[in-house]
Structures are given as C-alpha cells and as structure tokens.
C-alpha cells in the first residue's frame, strides 16, 4: 500500500560509530525478510546498534548523519519501485542535493529481482547510482538477487553478505568485531521474540472488545499484526456481494478464467477505469482449525500483541477508540497466512531450537545452514509448502505462539484489475480472474488462495468480500486521446473497462478511436469476451474500422505457426503508426514474462520502419509524457 502523503516521522541525525542502519523497500515481503537477515547477522557479529526500518518510515534528510547504511530494494512489475520507496526516491532527486551531500557516508545495496523481466533489478540499480552521485562511497559492489536462481534471491545474498561483513570489518573493526559469529552462528542461543502476546480468557474480555462488525474486526486483527502494522490498511472500504460467477473458458479447457461481478446493494462504488480491486481472501476454516490444534492453542481466548518491552499491565492499547483484544482464532484467520504462503528460511532456523526429536533438529539446522540452502529452496519454495504443512512434518517442534506470530507470513490482500466502467456500473465492479492452480516439481497440485475462494462462491450467497480500491498503474485516458491497447489473456481486463467507458462517453461527446490487440490460445476455448469485442467493432462502435479503430486477435495455437499479439502489431504497422502520429497513448497489460518485452520490441520495429531516423527514442518520449503505460502480473 502506498504511504500516506504526510511527511515521515522526523528522526534525529545520529553519528554513531557502531551503528548500522538497514533500509528496505519491499512490495511482497521478500526485501523485508532479507533486510531483517542483514540486521540479525550484524547483531550476531557484535554490532552495538542495528536498526532495520522501511524506507517510508525513515526521513531521508537524516542520511548525512548516518555513517553505514545498507539498502535492500525489490523491483516490481516492469522496473517499478515498491510503494514504500517512492517518497524516499523523490527526495533523493532534489536538485539542491549536491555531489558532496553524502561525503563520508558508506553504503551497500542489495536488490531483489527477476532476470526474466526486461528491467532486471532496476530499482536497486538506480538507487545505487544516485547514492554514488551524491558523494557516498560503496562498501561493496551492488548485489543482485535473482528469482531465476536455483536458490532464489538467497543464491546471491549469501556470498554478498559475506563480502559485506569482511569489507565492513576491515573498514571499521569496532563495528563488527566477531565476524566468525556471523559465519558460524551459535545455534544454541536464540534470544527472544520481538513481540509479546498477552492472553485473556473469554470471561475477562470486556464487552467493548467483542466486535460483531466485520469491517472493524478485520481492521483490529490486521492493525495489531507485527507484519502488517505499517501497511495501514484500515477497515475495508467495501463489503461486496458476489452476484455473478461465470466461466469464460470452455469446460474442456485446461484454463479456468472467470467473470465475477461484485455488488454493493446499498450504494455506489467510487472507482475509475485503470484502478485495481484489492481483496482479502478467506482461509479455509479447516486449515485454521488444524493450525490451532497443531500448535496447541486455545481458539477462544482473547489476545493482545505488543512490541517487546511494552507495558503488559496496561488495559490494552486502542484502535479507533476500541481496545485491541481479539479472539485468537479470529486473529489467525484474518492476519496469519497458515495455509497458502511458504515460510521463510529463518522460520526453519527458529524451529530447530524447539525441536525435541534429534533427527528433526538436525534436518532443520541443515536447512538453515548455507550448505542446506539449495535443498531448502527445493523442499520449501519450489514445492510451495505452507506453514501448516511444515509444522506437521516436524511434529516434535512446539514453537511458542510469539514466534509463530512474528514469523508466519501475513495474510495479504490480492489485487485484480477492474474490468468495468463506473459510468455503466455505478454499484458493481467486474473482475476477470484466472483461477490459479499448478503442479510442483513433485507433482503436487497447488491452488491460488484468493482465486480459488472466489470461484467457489455462489452468486447472492450471504458471504461478504472485504475490498479496497487501489489506484492502478494505468491512468484513465482522456476521451479525446486515441488509444492503442495490447492485452492478451486476462490482460484484457482493464481494457474491457476502457472500451466500456469510451462507449458510454461517445453517447454524449466526441471520442477518439481505439485500436485493440487481444491474444489467446484458441478461438473456440479461451476467446474471452468474444461477443463484447465484436459488438464494439461493428458499425459505429469504438473498435470499428470505419471509425478509425480496430480489433485484432492473435490465436496462438490455431495454426502450426505460433501467432502472438506482437505479430499482429507488425501486420497492422500502418494503422499503429498512424495512431501514434495522431497522438495515441499506448497501454500494455498481461503476463510479466516475455510479453511486455516482445510487444515493446514490435512497437519499436514499427516506429523504425515507418518513422526512420526521426523516430528515434519515440517510445521513451511517450513514456515520459505518460502515454506509454505497462501493467503486468
């Protein structure tokens, strides 16, 4: 979630010889995990003061007062920075920061990315360049974690960290005097969890802590979660009802894509085309019950969660005037992802301290060691093992609930592009969702938590879906701007909204034409929204060839030679070039693998072929003008 517009909390500029600051920018949690590992290893090595903090919680004007800072930065989408980095980055770009602003400042950068993307680790690379420009000195070269590595990002993090500690130790021996403790940690000394859980019996729970309002219950559970406390979700904006659940692909297709319609029967929903709907999915109650039983917890007791060192004798902090006590089972169900997310490497290390069976302890210690890293990645991430599955596989482990709360991945919202226009559907939102399932290397079938839950809901049943509107990365176009839209598969979702909106606008005002390139495997099995597109391509429709628009489909598997949207773009190069020359905006949406790079290359080829030398840098100019936008997942 993007940080609020208010300034970050001011922090004093501290010049501490033994202080190490680790700043992270994370979108899904991986960068936060990597940053916390940096902090743990620094503390093991004897660093006297370590602070691990999200970039949106740190005042960048304090950077010159620090001496050693490690940046851990993930890259999202097509080279985008995480939301938590954006305000920090804007500050670093201020023109009055000179080339000596960070003189005497030493830093290191580790990036988390995926080399399958065109702009691999782009966010980390740009912050590395900018900090260097401001006069700082790198401790070590930038480290680039790659999701494509057999061990994931940790394949690069392990050697990079070792190099970092050696360089820091040489530069300032007083900062990290015991580098051997980092390399060979004492696995008999765990320390304490960072949080306290305070328990109350149901009899002790005051009446105002028993909440029946589902919105307030969700807000309460997530506001006291240590992993979610800075997300500031607030209560859901809407509790929507499923009114349409329609399969778009043929029953015989190996892909299940659904059209969902969610409704607020009492009021209009405030959204724009290009926005995304964030949904908090429900976990299977049987999985929540199994987790609680496996961990020997009392589901009906009430709990409060506080940072270590808080006043345990207080009556409970408040959330919007309400005490923050909540039933344990409710907290697990709404804030802890026990049955879909895989635990992190540190989870296995902590488990090893609480294993009483020797063979389990040895296996867990091996998984937590550098030698066991690759095997852990195959066992855990590649197999998409859940927290519940891992705990059940190591039955001798009795991990205290404090550690489980701290280390279990949080239950995250899922975002879906909205595929309807508010001009046509004031109190409804349409979604186009692929129901996710896959086979692991060991041939175990896994299912996406949110999409599978939505697919299982029947229209008009009483279950309400917690929802938030989130500003998307595709800005709504002005009606007078011509559009070139490229959206294969479920990438068509936001463009269904664009076209629906432009059709509604055309009734009352002059609108520019639209060129849309869609792609799927087969015309008979997965031609999503076929009638919708063809209807708008007829006569005076917004996709009509007569009106200067067009609708072109690539059926990739209906002929021996594969045909994709980029091939259709080249076939229609004259139309595409004419649209670009008339001031068109280009929008691309869909899979984040090869498609965006292939589409960009096809557009560049059209520009070169039709525009010659004068068209050099055309797409970059479009991008700078806000007229070339990509949204991928």
- The annotation status of 415 as a binding-site residue, yes or no, is yes
Tokens 């997310």 -> residue: 341
- The annotation status of 317 as a binding-site residue, yes or no, is no
Spatial neighbors of 84 by CB under 8 A, at least 6 apart, are 3, 24, 25, 26, 27, 54, 55, 56
Per-residue model confidence as pLDDT tens digits over 459-511: 988 899 999 999 888 999 999 999 999 999 999 999 999 999 999 999 999 99
- The annotation status of 186 as a binding-site residue, yes or no, is no
- Distance CA(526)–CA(524), nearest Å, equals 6
- The annotation status of 564 as a binding-site residue, yes or no, is yes
Residue 605 reports pLDDT greater than 80: yes
Summary count for the chain: helices (H), strands (E): 20, 24
Residue 130 reports pLDDT greater than 70: yes
Q: Residue 181's pLDDT is what?
A: 62
- The annotation status of 31 as a binding-site residue, yes or no, is yes
Spatial neighbors of 628 by CB under 8 A, at least 6 apart, are 585, 586, 619, 622
- The annotation status of 163 as a binding-site residue, yes or no, is no
What one-character DSSP code corresponds to residue 336? Answer: B
Least confident of 30-34, 400-404, 418-422, 608-612: 608-612
What is the SS3 assignment for 139-186?
CCCCEEEECCCCCCCHHHHHHHHHHHHHHHHHHCCCCCCCHHHHHCCC
- The annotation status of 416 as a binding-site residue, yes or no, is yes
SS3 483: strand
With beta carbons less than 8 A apart as the criterion, state whether 302 and 200 touch.
yes
From first CA to last CA, the distance across the chain in angstroms is 16
- The annotation status of 553 as a binding-site residue, yes or no, is no
Question: pTM of the full predicted structure?
Answer: 0.89
Residue 454 reports pLDDT greater than 90: yes
- The annotation status of 562 as a binding-site residue, yes or no, is yes
**Hey, how many other C-beta atoms are within 10 angstroms of the C-beta on 438?**
10
- Distance CA(350)–CA(190), nearest Å, equals 7
Rg (CA), the chain: 26
Tell the burial category of 150 from Cβ atoms under 10 Å away from its Cβ (0-12, 13-18, 19+).
exposed
With beta carbons less than 8 A apart as the criterion, state whether 227 and 454 touch.
no
SS3 241: strand
- The annotation status of 76 as a binding-site residue, yes or no, is yes
Mean pLDDT of 599-617: 84
What one-character DSSP code corresponds to residue 10? Answer: P
Q: Residue 349's pLDDT is what?
A: 92
Task: Estimate the crossing angle of helix 573-581 against helix 595-611, to 10 degrees.
Answer: 80
Q: Residue 628's pLDDT is what?
A: 93
- 80: pLDDT confidence band, cut at 50, 70 and 90? confident
Q: Residue 460's pLDDT is what?
A: 81
Residue 8 reports pLDDT greater than 60: no
Largest CA distance in the chain: 78
- The annotation status of 525 as a binding-site residue, yes or no, is no
- The annotation status of 30 as a binding-site residue, yes or no, is yes
- 617: pLDDT confidence band, cut at 50, 70 and 90? confident
Q: Residue 360's pLDDT is what?
A: 97
- The annotation status of 100 as a binding-site residue, yes or no, is no
- The annotation status of 180 as a binding-site residue, yes or no, is no
- The annotation status of 448 as a binding-site residue, yes or no, is yes
DSSP string, 58-75: S-GGGGGG-SEEEEEEE-
- The annotation status of 28 as a binding-site residue, yes or no, is yes
- Distance CA(206)–CA(203), nearest Å, equals 8
Per-residue model confidence as pLDDT tens digits over 412-432: 999 999 999 999 998 999 999
Per-residue model confidence as pLDDT tens digits over 285-334: 999 999 999 999 999 999 999 988 654 434 444 443 346 789 999 999 99
- The annotation status of 632 as a binding-site residue, yes or no, is no
DSSP string, 218-235: HHHHHHS-TTTTTT---S
With beta carbons less than 8 A apart as the criterion, state whether 257 and 245 touch.
no
- List beta partners, residue 336: 410
- The annotation status of 220 as a binding-site residue, yes or no, is no
Identify the residue with better confidence: 591 or 3: 591
| Residue closest to 408 by CA, chosen among 295, 308, 300, 324 | 295
- The annotation status of 166 as a binding-site residue, yes or no, is no
- The annotation status of 391 as a binding-site residue, yes or no, is no
- Distance CA(48)–CA(64), nearest Å, equals 20
Query: C-alpha distances in angstroms, 590 versus 78, 288, 562, 597?
Result: 11, 33, 18, 12
- The annotation status of 244 as a binding-site residue, yes or no, is no
Structural domains for the chain: 19-183 (3.40.50.360), 189-472 (1.20.990.10), 483-632 (3.40.50.80)
- The annotation status of 557 as a binding-site residue, yes or no, is yes
SS3 419: coil
Per-residue model confidence as pLDDT tens digits over 362-417: 999 999 888 898 899 999 999 999 999 999 999 999 999 999 999 999 999 999 99
Query: C-alpha distances in angstroms, 139 versus 21, 132, 142, 497, 503?
Result: 14, 11, 9, 49, 57
With beta carbons less than 8 A apart as the criterion, state whether 127 and 137 touch.
no
Per-residue b or e along 264-276, where b marks 16 or more CB atoms closer than 10 Å to that residue's CB: beeeebebbbbbb
CA angle 122, 124, 129 (to 5 degrees): 95
- The annotation status of 330 as a binding-site residue, yes or no, is no
């Amino acid at each position: 979630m993007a940080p609020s517009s208010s300034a970050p909390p001011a922090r004093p500029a501290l010049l501490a010889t033994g202080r190490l600051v680790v700043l992270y920018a994370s979108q899904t949690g991986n960068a936060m995990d990597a940053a916390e590992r940096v902090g743990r290893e620094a503390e093991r090595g004897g660093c006297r003061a370590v602070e691990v903090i999200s970039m949106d919680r740190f005042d960048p004007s304090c950077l010159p007062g620090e001496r050693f800072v490690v940046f851990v930065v993930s890259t999202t989408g097509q080279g985008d920075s995480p939301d938590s980095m954006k305000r920090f980055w804007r500050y670093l770009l201020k023109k009055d920061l000179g080339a000596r602003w960070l003189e005497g400042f030493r830093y290191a950068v580790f990036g988390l990315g995926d080399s399958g993307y065109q702009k691999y680790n782009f966010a980390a690379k740009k912050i590395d360049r900018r900090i260097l420009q401001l006069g700082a000195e790198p401790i070590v070269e930038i480290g680039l974690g790659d999701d494509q590595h057999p061990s994931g990002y940790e394949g690069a993090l392990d050697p990079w960290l070792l190099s970092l500690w050696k360089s820091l130790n040489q530069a300032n021996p007083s900062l990290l005097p015991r580098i051997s403790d980092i390399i060979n940690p004492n696995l008999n000394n765990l320390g304490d969890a960072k949080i306290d859980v305070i328990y109350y019996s149901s009899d002790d729970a005051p009446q105002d802590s028993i909440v029946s309002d589902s919105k307030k219950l969700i807000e309460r559970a997530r506001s006291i979660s240590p992993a979610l406390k800075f997300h500031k979700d607030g209560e859901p904006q809407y509790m929507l009802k499923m009114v349409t659940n329609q399969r778009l692909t043929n029953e015989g297709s190996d892909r299940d894509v659904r059209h969902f319609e969610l409704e607020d029967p009492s009021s209009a929903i405030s959204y724009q085309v290009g926005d995304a709907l964030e949904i908090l999915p429900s976990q299977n109650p049987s999985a929540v019950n199994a987790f609680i039983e496996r961990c020997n917890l009392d589901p009906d007791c009430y709990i409060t969660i506080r940072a270590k060192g808080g006043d345990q004798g207080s009556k409970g902090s408040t959330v919007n005037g309400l005490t923050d006590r909540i039933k344990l089972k409710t907290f697990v169900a709404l804030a802890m992802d026990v049955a879909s997310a895989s635990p992190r490497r540190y989870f296995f290390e902590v488990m090893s301290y609480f294993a009483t069976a020797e063979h389990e302890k040895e296996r867990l210690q091996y998984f937590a060691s550098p030698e066991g890293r690759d095997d852990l990645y195959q066992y855990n991430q590649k197999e998409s093992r859940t927290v519940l599955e891992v705990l059940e596989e190591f039955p001798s482990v009795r991990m205290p609930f404090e550690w489980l709360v701290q280390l279990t991945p949080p239950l995250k919202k899922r975002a879906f592009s909205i595929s309807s226009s508010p001009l046509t559907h004031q109190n409804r939102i349409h979604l186009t969702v692929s129901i996710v399932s896959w086979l692991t290397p060991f041939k175990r079938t896994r299912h996406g938590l949110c999409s599978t839950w939505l697919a299982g809901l029947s229209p008009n049943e009483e279950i309400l879906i917690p929802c938030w509107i989130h500003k998307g990365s595709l800005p709504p176009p002005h009606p007078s701007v011509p559009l070139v839209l490229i959206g294969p598969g479920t990438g068509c979702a936001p463009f269904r909204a664009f076209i629906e909106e432009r059709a509604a606008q055309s009734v009352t005002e002059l609108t520019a034409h639209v060129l849309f390139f869609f792609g799927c495997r087969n015309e008979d099995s997965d031609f999503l929204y076929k009638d919708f597109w063809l209807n708008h391509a007829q006569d005076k429709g917004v996709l009509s060839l007569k009106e200067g628009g067009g609708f072109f489909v690539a059926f990739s598997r209906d002929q021996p030679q594969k045909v994709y949207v980029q091939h259709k773009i080249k076939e229609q190069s004259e139309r595409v070039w004419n649209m670009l020359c008339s001031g068109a905006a280009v929008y691309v949406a869909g899979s984040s693998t090869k498609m965006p790079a292939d589409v960009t290359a096809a557009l560049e080829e059209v520009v070169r072929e039709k525009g010659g030398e004068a068209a050099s840098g055309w797409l970059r100019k479009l991008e700078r003008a806000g007229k070339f936008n990509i949204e991928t997942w």
